[in-house]
Amino acid sequence: MSMPVSVPRLAGLFVVLAAVMAFAAIFSDAPAYRQIPPGTGVIKFSFNHSADRAKECRRRTPEELAKLPPNMRRPVECPRGRRGIVAELTIDEKTVFSGEIPPSGFAKDGPSQIYRRFVVKVGSHTVTARLRDTPRTEGFDHERTEAVTVVPGQSLALDFRPEHGGFVWR
């Protein structure tokens, strides 16, 4: 047996639903959310790159091969692990990132990955990116200095693409 719905009850339900929808509509647009403060932009330092192997490949001796099971007798042994990458980013001659980025993966054989975000004021900036991905202990293998102009709300991404000559802006 169903209960009849009265007009005052329907009107009350309508008023409650209208109030909930009005509340949602007002707060869907206000207060305004900003990811970055007004008068600023973002420079993103982001790349995914593999360095050289940590150890060089070597040829096994006949004695070493004889000790191995037949299915594992590869004449050349190449360790899987890779070196970490040393990277540095300066904005207007101030170093904002400097460090070694380890290789990813369980066996440390994957690419080194970084994603850093820097909020900067609108205007011209000098950005220098450096990267070392070889066994050398000092200096850098790749370097790029660029004058960039940041406009309000802009997002500039600095990526590393060896097939395009090194650091590129996207």
Question: Domains of the chain by range and CATH?
Answer: 40-53+82-169 (2.60.40)
Sheet bearing 123-132, strands edge to edge: 94-101, 85-91, 123-132, 142-150
8-state DSSP, 23: H
How does residue 113 score in pLDDT terms, banded at 50, 70 and 90?
very high
DSSP 5: P
CB 74 within 8 A of CB 84: no
What's the confidence (pLDDT) of residue 69?
Answer: 93
**Structure pTM?**
0.74
Find the Cα–Cα–Cα–Cα dihedral 58, 62, 67, 71, rounded to 10°: 70
Residue 143 pLDDT grade (very low, low, confident, very high; cuts 50, 70, 90): very high
Split at pLDDT 50, 70, 90, the class of 79 is: confident
* CB-CB neighbours of 103 under 10 Å: 21
